[in-house]
Amino acid sequence: MNSLLPWSALLVPLCASALIVLLFQRARQVSVFISVGAVLFSFVCSCLIFSRQDIAAAEIDWINFPGLLHVPIGFTLDRLSKTMLLIVTGVGALIHIYSIGYMREDDGEARYFAALSLFIFSMLGIVLANNFVMMFIFWELVGVSSYLLIGHWFMKDAAADAANKAFITNRVGDFGFMLGILMVWGATGTVIFREMAPRLTGLATNPAFLTLAVLLIFCGAVGKSAQFPLHVWLPDAMEGPTPVSALIHAATMVAAGVYMLVRVGFLVQASPDALRVISWIGTITALLAGLIATQQDDIKRILAYSTLSQLGYMIMAVGLASGETAMFHLFTHAFFKALLFLGAGSVIVALHHEQNIWKMGGQGKNLILTFVSFSVGTLALIGFPFFSGYFSKDAILALAYARQPVIFALALFTAFLTAFYMVRLFVVVFLGKPRSQTAFASQESPTTMLVPLVVLAICSLLGGYRFFAGRFLALPEEHHTGLVIPLLPLVAMTAGSVLAFLLYRGRATDPLNLRALRDRLYLDEFYGWIIEHTQDALARLSAFIDRWLIDAGAVRGASSATWGFGTVLRLLQVGNLQAYAILFGFGIVWVIYFVIFR
Amino acid sequence: MTTLGDYLFVSGTLFAIGFAGVLLRRNVIIIFMALELMLNAANLSLVAFSRFRVSASGLPNYHAQVLVFFIITVAAAEVAVGLAIIVAVYRARRTTHVEDLNALKF
Amino acid sequence: MPAPLFWFFAIVMLVFGALVIINRNPVASALSLVVCFLGLSALFLSLDAFFIGIIQVLVYAGAVMVLFLFIIMLLDLRAEERRKLNWVALIGGALVALALLAEIWSVIGRTKIAHQVLPALSSPRIDDVRNVGLLLFDQYNLPFQVIAVLVVVATIGVIVLSKRELR
């Protein structure tokens, strides 16, 4: 029984997805039931796994070349993975329930739930994998599920393009990931995490190799967790349904990068240069995303950039050599970000799929429960005392203060920005007067959408306390920084909130107009330019080779050579008898020479 | 005493003279005559071998002489036909210069 | 035949053979060829090939060369006009002919049988007409018949080729 639990937790969502695709695509209610049932089952299994100490799962030997390559299909079941199991299945279950209400009128409901179950299966695979190759396979599967879900409304060009963009950008990161895995395998001879740690001493003699391998593995996290420069897919991924944004692009999939780095923390922390790069990339991402978020007008885009920013914090923590701090923030972020997305979804549905914040307003009066839970989420995100985000964000800031003051300063400024754009969002959407007819007449969402909001709000409130989080995670050590740490972030948060409140209260349009930030710092245009020009250059090179080297050179060359040869030979046919006779005699002379005199 | 080599030497020289004539002269009739020289050189060497290869009964090897007989006959027939052709060509082209007879080209 | 006589006739043959190809006048070439054939016939006789020697004079010098002269007269060929000499062809042809000559001489010089002297015959006078005839009609009868047909064919061919268009 004990060894079956992990397998059933992993495989039941897959079976659900397969059943829906193969048999029940027409029967929408049945599909919903199967999918939600499957994820609840996995959640129960996860709880059981968590509560027991003696869980050991049977391993399947998939590839086994002794001494060369051993790739099993097996599970790691330590505290970290058990906690992630709970987060994935728990938040996943809540979002499944939310989706029942959200996708009620959608025609592709069955397809949606099939893809959602596939996602749960893939994500659990990443969490449970005990070796790099298995993790990579599920890594790609998660990318596929994300593609399917972002492109759920594929009839819209924007959604189809966004799905492509997400998958391709991820592939770029995964290429580096694969190279990193190969390098590590080459150096240690194994891909299994448990066996890798003792063999790292061999790599210590070649620090450059180790740094390069770690940075390449980090590329995978850069792609999956949308760090700079591969962050461009996450804002566009908001084209997918809001529950998808909540589950995949806030709570779980984008956290996979952080999880992976913590899982191989022994490898990452062996290279100080790589750590420095990682921490700086996290910081840059956090800062960049925070700046852009202050000028966005789409509610989901603001939350997407907020996710980017918080992921930057987590990666920053990983780079500052504290996986526990990163996991702590991941833990709390899962709850409040999912909450914020689901709340936004509730508002969007109430306003008949309107997403521009300047057409909302005054929702605090109409959507009471959504308003309350959204406030909880906002306060948690900006780090208001007693909410979960306060504890985890302060932990990261304390870490930065102790290890890298420059990064601390930038992180502090980002906290200020976080408060600014979240309060801006909150004020514009929920306070003031409704700015459109639909905003005026909005009504609260159905119960299936409200229950998850409540549950997540409770978790966002309690998530930071030691008695709650300490059961699941190894909490980071306390850094004794005196009063600096509680004080400075509070100052930043207050400053940001007050500034936003004063600027945006009672406004109908945005008083600030910073073009560069509004246009996302022109990074998308820059990438498009690069791709267009490299493709152009490659195409021109191929055309040149094809037209001049192959066509003119080889093909035409062969025919021209034959033709030329023939023309030359034709010159012998002069019609002159004596010329023939001379050639004839010449031949005879040569033959006699070769036969007799050699 | 003359040896077989002397006869062959003379025969070869005559052959080379005829060959040079074929290659160097421009008049078709002269070329034809040089061709006859080559044939006769071959006849000479055949007869020489016939005489120098005496059989057991003390007689020359007459097989070569029979061959020479045939060669002479065929050469005569060939000359007749060849000259008839030259006459026909002359009637058409009014020339016996071999460089003017170059219709058989590409 | 004593060696001097052999060399005399050989030189006559070679010189007049060369004159054939050197002469500009076709009639002079034809007459040189006749003398060359006479020399050749003498060489045949020196090899005890009496039948072949006579046939050479009768057929070649008597019939073939007469035919040549008839044709030269018929076509009323003058001396060859001077045309622009194609030096390349001339040099090339001369070289090829000289190369062939050199090769023939060296081959003959190397073979062992070239040093063989005239072997003795069973009797000083042999009846070679009879012997040749016996061989011809006995072993080579079929080729003989074929040659006869060939001559007839040649005759008919010549007549056909020489016909003028019937008016």
Query: How, if at all, do strands A60-65 and A69-73 pair?
Result: antiparallel
Taking the Cβ of residue C85 and every Cβ of chain B, the question of whether any pair is shorter than 8 Å is answered with no
Does an H or E element contain B28, and which? helix B28-52
CB contact under 8 A, A589 and C96: yes
Quote the DSSP letter at residue A585: H
- When mean pLDDT is compared across A310-314, A346-350, A442-446, A555-559, the lowest value belongs to A442-446
Contact (CB<8Å) C71/B87: yes
Q: How far is B38 from chain C (nearest CA, A)?
A: 10
pLDDT score at C167: 53
Which subunits sit against B, judged by 3+ Cβ pairs under 8 A? Answer: A, C
- State the pLDDT confidence band at A524, using cuts at 50, 70 and 90: confident
Q: For residue A81, what are the contacts with CB-CB under 8 A and spacing of at least 6?
A: A75, A127, A128, A263
Tell me the average pLDDT across C33-51: 94
How far apart are the CA of C167 and the nearest CA of chain B, in angstroms?
Answer: 16
C92 contacts A596? CB cut-off 8 A: no
- CB A455 within 8 Å of CB A377: no
Spatial CA neighbour of A280 closest among A317, A226, A316, A318: A316
Distance CA A138, CA A140 (A): 5
- Predicted pLDDT of residue A43: 92
**CB < 8 Å & 24+ apart, contacts of B39-43:** B39/B71, B39/B75, B40/B14, B40/C36, B40/C37, B40/C40, B40/C56, B40/C60, B41/B11, B41/B12, B41/B14, B41/B15, B42/B11, B42/B15, B42/B71, B43/B68, B43/B71, B43/B72, B43/C40, B43/C52, B43/C56
* Residue of A569, A572, A573, A577 to mutate, interface with B, max B Cβ within 10 Å: A577
Q: Is the dihedral of CA A408, A411, A413, A415 positive or negative?
A: negative
* Mean pLDDT of the residues in chain C: 88
- What is the C-alpha separation between A325 and A50, in angstroms, rounded? 21
What pLDDT score does A480 carry?
A: 65
Residue B98: which of A570, A573, A577 has the nearest Cβ? A577
Angle at A589 between CA B105 and CA C111, to 5 degrees: 150
User: Beta strands of B25-67 (E only): which ranges?
Assistant: none
116-135 in chain C: CB under 8 A from chain A: none
Regarding predicted confidence, which is higher, C55 or B54? C55
Confidence of residue A479 (pLDDT cuts 50, 70, 90): low
SS3 A103: coil
Token output for B31 = 């070329």
- Per-residue pLDDT tens digits for A72-103: 888 888 888 888 888 899 999 999 999 888 88
* Contact (CB, 8 A) for A185 and A132: yes
| pLDDT over 80 at A496, yes or no | yes
Specify the range with the lowest mean pLDDT, choosing from A108-112, A501-505, A512-516, A592-596. Answer: A512-516
Measure the CA dihedral B29/B34/B37/B38, to 10°. Answer: -130
Chains in contact with chain C (at least 3 beta-carbon pairs closer than 8 A): A, B
| Residues of chain A neighbouring C89 (CB-CB closer than 8 A) | 578-579, 582
Q: Which of A185, A313, A326 is nearest to A265 (CA)?
A: A326
Please indicate whether, in this complex, the C-beta atoms of B14 and C157 are within 8 angstroms of each other.
no
Picking from C89, C103, C106, the nearest residue to A582 by CB comes out as C89
CA within 13 Å, CB half, C159 = 5
- Cβ neighbours for A281, distance < 8 A, ≥ 6 positions apart: A218, A222, A227, A228, A315, A319
- Residue among C92, C103, C107 whose CB faces A582 most closely: C92
Q: Classify each residue of A191-226 as buried b or exposed e, where b means 16 or more C-beta atoms within 10 Å of its C-beta.
A: bbbeebeeeeeebeeeeeebbbbbbbbbbbbbbbbb
Give A176 or A509, the one with higher predicted confidence: A176
**CB < 8 Å from B in window 5-64 of C:** 6, 10, 13-14, 17-18, 20-21, 26, 29-30, 33, 36-37, 40, 43-44, 46-49, 51-52, 55-56, 59-60, 63-64
Question: What phi and psi, each to the nearest 5 degrees, are found at residue A69?
Answer: -150, 130
pLDDT mean over A312-339: 89
What pLDDT does residue A247 have? 86
Say which DSSP state C120 is in: P
Confidence of residue C124 (pLDDT cuts 50, 70, 90): confident
CB atoms within 10 A of CB A586: 17
Closest chain C residue by Cα to residue B20? C97
**A397: number of Cβ within 10 Å:** 29
- A586 in contact with C, Cβ within 8 Å: yes
ipTM score of complex: 0.90
